[in-house]
Structure 1
Amino acid sequence: MSGFHDVRFPLRLALGATGGPVRRTDVVNLSNGRESRNQRWRDSRRSYDAGSGVKSAADLYAVMEFFEARRGQLHGFRFRDPIDWKSCGPVDLPTAADQRIGTGDGGTAAFQLVKTYGDGHGSWIRRITKPVAGSVTVSIDGEAQPADAFVVDPATGILTFAPGQVPAIGADIRAGFEFDVPVRFDIDRIEVDLAHFNAGRIPSIPLTEILT
Structure 2
Amino acid sequence: MSLDIFPTLPGLKWGSTRVPMHRTSVRETPSGREFRTRYFSFPRWRYKLAYEVLRETDGLAELKTLVGFFNARGGAAQRFLYLDPDDCSVVDQRLGTGDGAIRKFQLVRTWGGVVEPVYAAADDAQVLLGGALADPSTYDIGPSGVLSFGVPVAMGLPVTWTGHFYWRVRFKQDETEVSQFLQQLWEARSVELITVKP
1:47 is aligned to 46
Contact 2:177–2:188 (CA under 8 A) maintained in structure 1: no
1:170 aligns with 2:160: no
Distance in 1 of aligned mates of 2:22 and 2:183: 32
Shift of 1:114: 0.9
Pick from 125, 130, 142: which aligns with 2:131?
Answer: 142
Q: Quick check: which one's strand share is greater? A: 2
Counting aligned pairs with the same residue, the percent is 28
Can you list the C-alpha shifts for 1:81-106, whole angstroms capped at 9, x where unaligned? 1210001xxxxxx4xxx111111111
What is the deviation of 1:113? Answer: 0.6
Which residue of 2 is the match for residue 124 of structure 1? Answer: 114
TM-score, normalized by length of structure 1?
A: 0.74
Q: Distance in 2 between matches of 1:184 and 1:13?
A: 21
CA distance 1:15–1:27, shift in 2 (3 Å): farther
Q: What is aligned with 1:8? A: 5
Query: Which residue, out of 90, 101, 104, partners 2:95?
Result: 101
Q: TM-score, normalising length from structure 2?
A: 0.79
Q: For residue 32 of structure 1, what is the aligned residue in structure 2?
A: none
Structure with the largest fraction of helix: 1
* Alpha-carbon contact 2:180-2:187 (below 8 Å) kept: no
For 2:133 and 2:93, locate their aligned partners in 1 and report how far apart those are by CA, in whole Å.
13
Gaps of 5+ in 2: 28-33, 57-61
- Distance in 2 (alpha carbons) for counterparts of 1:151 and 1:72: 32
2: CA distance, partners of 1:160 / 1:200: 45
| Residue type at the aligned position of 1:185 | F
Closer/same/farther in 2, CA of residues 54 and 150 from structure 1, 3 Å limit:
farther
User: What is the aligned partner in structure 1 of residue 149 from structure 2?
Assistant: 161
Q: How many pairs were matched up?
A: 191
